[in-house]
Structure 1
Amino acid sequence: MQQLRSDIWCAAFVRRHNDQGNFCVVSRRGDAIAGQVWIEVDHLDGTVSLFTPAPGALLDSPPADRVFQKRFSRTDPLTVKDRISREIEFDQDLWVLSLDLRGEDIGVDVV
């Protein structure tokens, strides 16, 4: 099954969270069709989590939707910013979504 375009998926993610009363923005636009999506979550307590696409080796079968892994959990914001900056140097097509959320459930599949 083919995945939804990155620009459409990101727009839906941002819209869904903003409709729920969470603040969510596109911090960086990548390739509209096939750019990777990273989600940076500010927990509003001085900590940040980072979700990145899950490697295919972690999945039993091809997913119907995007699947993420938690790369950093409630860590220092500079650690996450540094990791994102290093990835952008490598992958110019990267999307970064920034979400302010006090809870843990960002509304995506996580392995």
Structure 2
Amino acid sequence: MSDTHSLQTTALVSAGLAASLILYRHLSSNDNPPGPRPVPIIGNAHQMPQEHPWLTFTKWQERYGDIIYLEILGKPLLVLNSSDIAIELLDKRSSIYSDRPHMTMASEL
């Protein structure tokens, strides 16, 4: 009986920690741009269209704006719905947002 009780306690504590982690990650993502509310674990995967995603992104643009934040299975995804925003962020501010490592040997040789 002691082994069963110990196993149940371990399972309960593990489930509680996992739920706490999921809840913490879900609630702490308030500093992201607006977007559809993600579901724990799968994020917005269930809301991603299989065909013609640009139509859905255009509908979301009316509600959330030109920059939309999505999370697909724990991976962040930004949708830029405006060419002006895309040029501003990806071209003019590329030094801020680019996180590629500087490869000294490849660039200087």
TM-score, normalised relative to structure 2: 0.28
Structure number with higher strand proportion: 1
Q: Which has the larger radius of gyration?
A: 2
